[in-house]
Structure 1
Amino acid sequence: MTSTRPTLLLVHGAWHQPAAWDRLRAELDVLGYQTRAVDLPTSGPDARGGMQDDADAVRKEIAAIGGPVVLVAHSYGGIPASEAATGLSQVEHLVYLTAYQLDRGESMLSFHGVPDPVEVDVLIPLTGDPRTAFYGDLSDAEAEAAISQLSDQRLQASADRVTEPAWRSIPSTYIVCTNDQAIPVSLQEKMAVRATDVRRIESGHSPFLSRPAELAALLDEIVTARG
């Protein structure tokens, strides 16, 4: 690995934890990449704060790397990643993995046409069927293990609005997950038009678990082609 190869900084989605990236990180390690995974404060057993707190956590990790960075954000993680990287010259590329690539003044809730809640200082219950929504292409045992690692999530993170998104000044790639049951392909495509480039992977919402080697190879292609 050359000294100019970027570190991949991985930003997890809502309800998830950094360990969700472990399979992908192992595959990226084989390809010679250094990786780091952000621990977002709005998700976890002691969930606190809002999207800006998550963005601060991303900024701190970028600063700690001290060299070129490619941000890889999943689902909700695209929002604090966009907010954090603006103006940071060491961030060379943004990758939105079926992620929210929002514009100025948008929040996750507003993007879905949901009005701002009266009270944001609450946790979002994990409702519905996470097995189908997040892990439809995992085995039952793998899905059960992944579900057991899900944590509480703060509502404020979904209500906070983006100020100046980094994708307006930093090149970006959107990875559409074509079998995603959590963020429909039509919504992914709506956000993907904001990216510099669009790629696709035949997976559900969590290819870092279901197709880690394939996703690692795709990220390698994106990093190699950047700039």
Structure 2
Amino acid sequence: MASHKPTAVLIIHGGYFLPAAWDAFWDKLRQAGFIVKCPRLPSCGDKRPPTATMNDDIIAVREAVQELIDTNNSILVLAHSYGGMVASEAISPDLYANNGKGAVGLILLSAWLVQPGDTLTDVISKYGFQCKVDLSDNGDGTFFAKNAPESFYNDIESIEAKDLAAKNVTHNLFAGSGKISGAPWKDLPTTYIHCAQDMAIMLPLQQSMVQDAVNMGGKLITKTIDSGCHESAMNLERSMMVASNAE
């Protein structure tokens, strides 16, 4: 997948979640020999009323990438859901690999893939809101998923789903309302992994965004896993190991 095999994985989590949601997958990556970072995006679980914007999320990711660069790591960036938008803006050419240090590849896991010059609203206007998450406004600028067990955790047992849903956090939905300007998927080897059961960004929408990216010059390869939002990380393991070990 890249000219330099990655020594580190930088995870950019999605909205309504915190880094702890990736703990099990994080452990598997560490056992495989990777250094792992998953910075908390400030717009997730923000104070109420919220103050963090996507720019704050971008800063958090860039700081984490720079720390990995400073310790001589080549980095595979894994972005999920809202994290795809953050990745587009945060992973700019100054963070690409130089002498083996920096970003060498990108994995978009059922992630928002918004074209430069467009907003998330533009994508939704073009393809419709292909989402089964029942989002509700707290009235203070934060949003939460009313049906998290059924939408985020539709691929696991209902009791566990309810327990995990209780750990979801609010998200400042308007954090991602601005125009996207970056497109690291045009420059870096990129794999888009479709999650067939994802209810947050449904499969046809994932496919449409990828096709738009290809039409814009992106050389993405795709894989599909039979997974929803929660189990996507665990079902990703095999595909990610193949990608990260490729020359």
* Fold similarity call, TM over 0.5: yes
1:82 aligns with 2:81: no
Residue of structure 2 aligned with 1:106, choices 104, 118, 121? 118
Name the % identity: 27
- Does the aligned pair in 2 maintain the 1:9–1:70 contact within 8 Å? yes
- Does the aligned pair in 1 maintain the 2:5–2:244 contact within 8 Å? no
- Does the aligned pair in 1 maintain the 2:10–2:77 contact within 8 Å? yes
1:155 aligns with 2:173: yes
- Does the aligned pair in 1 maintain the 2:44–2:172 contact within 8 Å? yes
- 1:92 to 1:5, Cα distance in 2 relative to 1, 3 A: closer
User: Comparing 82-91 with 24-33, which one deviates more in the overlay?
Assistant: 24-33
- Does the aligned pair in 1 maintain the 2:46–2:52 contact within 8 Å? no
SS class of match (1:96): strand
Partner of 2:132: none
SS class of match (1:197): strand
- 1:146 to 1:123, Cα distance in 2 relative to 1, 3 A: farther
Calculate the TM-score normalised by the size of structure 2. Answer: 0.80
Q: Deviations over 1:126-175 (max 9, x none)?
A: 24411121110112232122211111211321312211222122221100
Partner of 2:243: 222
Calculate the TM-score normalised by the size of structure 1. Answer: 0.87
Partners in 1 of 2:109 and 2:145 — Cα distance? 22
- Does the aligned pair in 1 maintain the 2:143–2:173 contact within 8 Å? no
Partners in 1 of 2:223 and 2:147 — Cα distance? 27
- Does the aligned pair in 1 maintain the 2:116–2:179 contact within 8 Å? yes
Partner of 1:184: 202
Displacement of 1:187: 0.5
Q: Deviations over 1:39-83 (max 9, x none)?
A: 001111425321121111110000011221111011001001111
Partners in 2 of 1:58 and 1:189 — Cα distance? 26
Displacement of 1:27: 1.7
SS class of match (1:179): coil
- Does the aligned pair in 1 maintain the 2:195–2:232 contact within 8 Å? no
* Count of aligned residue pairs for this structure pair: 215
Corresponding letter in the other structure for 2:116: R
Partners in 2 of 1:109 and 1:97 — Cα distance? 20
- 1:59 to 1:105, Cα distance in 2 relative to 1, 3 A: same
Give the alignment's Cα RMSD to 1 decimal: 2.1
Task: Structure 1 unaligned segments of length 5 or more: list them.
Answer: 115-120
- 1:185 to 1:64, Cα distance in 2 relative to 1, 3 A: same
